[in-house]
Amino acid sequence: MSTADDGPRRLEAVIHGDVQGVGFRFHAARAAARHGIDGWVANEGRGTVRAVGEGPTGALSAWLDELREGPPGAHVSGVDVQWAAATGGFNGFAVRSGAHSGD
């Protein structure tokens, strides 16, 4: 999916499994920092974690690999993924509460 002339992309992932209360949001934030991704991550009321990131396709793919793995103590049973064009609306990466309002 990655090519040298890719512009920024947006990745939205909903992570399913035992992913709350195990440090998943901070795992996602550290991985985003390693890959130079801007966006956010938050727990959702249904027991999932939503992660939204923007950056180069290759960096987002590497980040997605880390989301699929999860931190020690997590069990990821599935990840719903959506790709889109970047909005450019992020400056850095935030760990949000479940009461966030989205972008």
Give residues with Cβ within 8 angstroms of 99, minimum separation 6. none
- 18-to-22, 48, 59, 73, 74 alpha-carbon distances in Å: 8, 8, 25, 8, 5
Q: Which residues are tagged catalytic?
A: 25, 43
